[in-house]
Amino acid sequence: MSATTAYQRLSLEGERKSALDVARNRLMVAVLLFFAAFAVMVIRTVELGLSTPETKQVAERQIVIPPVKVARADILDRNGEVLATNLETSSLYANPSEIKNPADVAARLVAVLPDLSLSEVEEKLSSDRKFVWLKRKLSPREKWEVNALGVPAFQFQREEERVYPHGRLAAHALGYVDVDGNGLGGVEYFFNDRLNDAGRTDEPIKLALDIRVQYALTDELEAAMSAHRAIGAAGIVMDVNSGEVIALASLPDYDPNDIRGVASQQRFNRATQGVYELGSTFKTFTFAAALDQGIATLEDGYDATKPLRIARFTIRDDHPKARYMSLPEIFAYSSNIGTAQMALDIGAERQQKFLRDLGFLDTTNLELAEVGSPIYPATWRKSSTMTISYGHGIAVSPVQLVNGIAAMVNGGRLIPATLTHNDDNWRQGQQVISQNTSRKIRQLLRLAVTKGTGGRSEAVGYRVGGKTGTAEKAVAGGYDRKALISSFVGVFPMDDPQYVVFALLDEPRGTKETFGYRSGGWVAAPVVKNVILRSAPLLGVAPKREDEGLYQQVALMIEED
């Protein structure tokens, strides 16, 4: 301030200013300019330092984490366990024009990648091209070894590989993919577009499968298959109240990680693709139809003294009692004669409608491409009605049977089977039989285990009910008496059904332990029992003492002899 007034005074006195004053004034101008500049800098400094706090600056910055990009969505089981995932891998290619001595390089490469053919690699490396594929999808170790060779002409291309960490487990449900990651089987094929949808690759598909139950089922089926030298086996575990498939096994199976050289026999899904005449397990549906439509009551009975003759067939019993049998006895002792007579009372039309309502005459809607269509007679004769009543003359896939049994025991609602984890699936259910009939069927199934042919499925504590099924395999022009399809369908716990467990063995042979028997009650029922013993604790079904009163009334009608 004082500098400014001094300057004014000096300029007013103007006339006598000396050369010194002029210099002084000019200097003052320069000083003022500097002051102004400093002032601006100070203000700017303060502004930068205080006006926008650092925290706010950072908060406003968008922190972008690069997303993990995969080409195909994962598949998980119902508990979130990884069943199929895409992992990064490398494919090896080379630029042959950079290689001077192809023979030597080829020999060194084949030494670390022994599955390549030396002559082929040599030929590729001696070509004039600039780019040749040498091997696709190397393991990390292989990649490291190739890098250790130190050949600059070898390059890697980032690729993705579909990995199934559980190997063979649930292979038929999962399916497999080709080298470019397109699904070729199982849910991989069925949901291919969804899995490859670029916008949704970070959303995995959750299946209804429980990998632990899947293993229990597969392990027991494998053991039974080798013990009975069967050519194949199939098994299903289904939640009766939601229609969800908890486990689905078909043997022989394959490793989806490496599908080269897998025979079509191994790829064949016996649980959904194979259609079989499943034998006596079908009696459950005949009984349900008769009880539900009031054609027979549990107090009725049929004469099973001697075999029935119809057209060119003779209907015999596998466990003949040769006497008048009550309905619970017919079911527990699996009498074909009694069931066939009951089917005649139902009639072809009502039987056909009932089976259609249960979906046995259509292909199942399960989320797999590998589903077999049922086989049944085009013209439904009297003899068809009788044989179909005990499961001959109609061939359905195991998953259809299990779905039907689930409807019989869950209070009468047919809920479509599903492989995906879906809490709302039960809403799609349709009432096919009454609650009351369902309760009677539950009693019959339980008594078939406690008193009838299914005794070897009794898993103590878990109140198993079930029905055996043994059928001769159909061959050209008749049946092969030597080749059986032995199955057992079990439900537990019978006082509040939760799960259906089905086991099927294809052409089992008798062993010393089964006294040469190879029927469903001998070979398949123990599988179901073991699967229940192993999986019930996993599925949260508590063992408890049985309420005998539930079955007492019906049990009295079964005469044991």
Question: Alpha-carbon distance 405 to 416, whole Å?
Answer: 12
For 390, list phi and psi in degrees, rounded to 5.
-115, 25
Angle of helix 102-112 relative to helix 118-126, nearest 10 degrees, comes to: 140
Q: What x/- string results for residues 4 through 33 when contact with other proteins is judged by CB under 8 A?
A: ---------------------------x--
Q: Is 87 in the site for other proteins (CB under 8 A)?
A: yes
Among 11, 17, 49, 97, which residue sits at the site for other proteins (rule: CB under 8 A)? 49
Question: Alpha-carbon distance 174 to 186, whole Å?
Answer: 5
* Nearest-approach distance from CB 553 to other proteins, in angstroms: 26
Q: Is 53 in the site for other proteins (CB under 8 A)?
A: no
Stretch that binds other proteins, among 150-158, 161-169, 267-275, 343-351 (CB under 8 A): 161-169
Q: What is the torsional sign of CA 248, 253, 255, 261?
A: negative
Question: Alpha-carbon distance 176 to 167, whole Å?
Answer: 11
C-alpha to C-alpha distances, 457 to 221, 292, 470, 533, 547, nearest whole angstrom: 14, 27, 15, 10, 18
* Nearest-approach distance from CB 425 to other proteins, in angstroms: 26
Query: Which of 288/536 has CB closer to other proteins?
Result: 536
Among 15, 19, 30, 67, which residue sits at the site for other proteins (rule: CB under 8 A)? 67
Q: Is 227 in the site for other proteins (CB under 8 A)?
A: yes
Question: Alpha-carbon distance 11 to 14, whole Å?
Answer: 5
Query: Which of 177/388 has CB closer to other proteins?
Result: 177
Q: Is 324 in the site for other proteins (CB under 8 A)?
A: no
> How many residues are there in the chain?
561
Among 169, 233, 246, 271, which residue sits at the site for other proteins (rule: CB under 8 A)? 169
Query: Which of 232/429 has CB closer to other proteins?
Result: 232
Query: Which of 4/11 has CB closer to other proteins?
Result: 4
Question: Alpha-carbon distance 217 to 229, whole Å?
Answer: 18
**Residue 226 catalytic?**
no
The full 3-state SS of 511-525, as one line of letters, equals: CCCCCCCCCHHHHCH
* Nearest-approach distance from CB 38 to other proteins, in angstroms: 5
Among 19, 30, 68, 263, which residue sits at the site for other proteins (rule: CB under 8 A)? 68
- For 396, residues 6+ apart whose C-beta sits below 8 A from its C-beta are 275, 276, 278, 360, 374
* Nearest-approach distance from CB 43 to other proteins, in angstroms: 10
Question: Alpha-carbon distance 321 to 333, whole Å?
Answer: 8
Among 107, 375, 460, 475, which residue sits at the site for other proteins (rule: CB under 8 A)? 460
Binding residues with other proteins: total (CB under 8 A):
57
Helix (H/G/I), strand (E/B), else coil: 75: strand
Nearest of 417, 398, 184 to residue 273 by alpha carbon: 398
Among 94, 205, 211, 369, which residue sits at the site for other proteins (rule: CB under 8 A)? 211
Query: Which of 176/215 has CB closer to other proteins?
Result: 215
Query: Which of 427/545 has CB closer to other proteins?
Result: 545
With beta carbons less than 8 A apart as the criterion, state whether 356 and 348 touch: no
* Nearest-approach distance from CB 235 to other proteins, in angstroms: 14
From the candidates 91, 242, 250, 280, give the one annotated as an active-site residue: 280
- For 371, residues 6+ apart whose C-beta sits below 8 A from its C-beta are 272, 273, 363, 364, 397, 399
Alpha helices in 128-210 (DSSP H): 140-149, 171-174, 186-190, 192-196
* Nearest-approach distance from CB 232 to other proteins, in angstroms: 17
Q: Is 56 in the site for other proteins (CB under 8 A)?
A: no
Among 72, 124, 166, 442, which residue sits at the site for other proteins (rule: CB under 8 A)? 166
Helix (H/G/I), strand (E/B), else coil: 232: strand
Query: Which of 75/409 has CB closer to other proteins?
Result: 75
Q: Is 449 in the site for other proteins (CB under 8 A)?
A: no
Stretch that binds other proteins, among 101-109, 217-225, 329-337, 485-493 (CB under 8 A): 217-225
Q: Is 539 in the site for other proteins (CB under 8 A)?
A: no
Which residue, chain included where needed, has tokens 């199942």?
A: 364
Q: Hey, which residues does 418 pair with through a beta bridge? A: 244
Helix (H/G/I), strand (E/B), else coil: 86: strand
Among 215, 390, 488, 492, which residue sits at the site for other proteins (rule: CB under 8 A)? 215
Query: Which of 31/179 has CB closer to other proteins?
Result: 31
Q: Hey, which residues does 396 pair with through a beta bridge? A: 276
* Nearest-approach distance from CB 245 to other proteins, in angstroms: 18
Q: Is 38 in the site for other proteins (CB under 8 A)?
A: yes
Question: Alpha-carbon distance 196 to 182, whole Å?
Answer: 8
Question: Alpha-carbon distance 298 to 286, whole Å?
Answer: 13
* Nearest-approach distance from CB 113 to other proteins, in angstroms: 22
Catalytic residues: 280
Enumerate binding residues for other proteins (CB under 8 A).
2-3, 31, 35, 38, 41-42, 45-46, 48-49, 54, 57-58, 61, 63-68, 70, 81-83, 85, 87-88, 163, 165-167, 169, 211-212, 214-216, 219-220, 223-224, 227, 459-462, 511, 513, 526, 530, 533-534, 537, 542-544
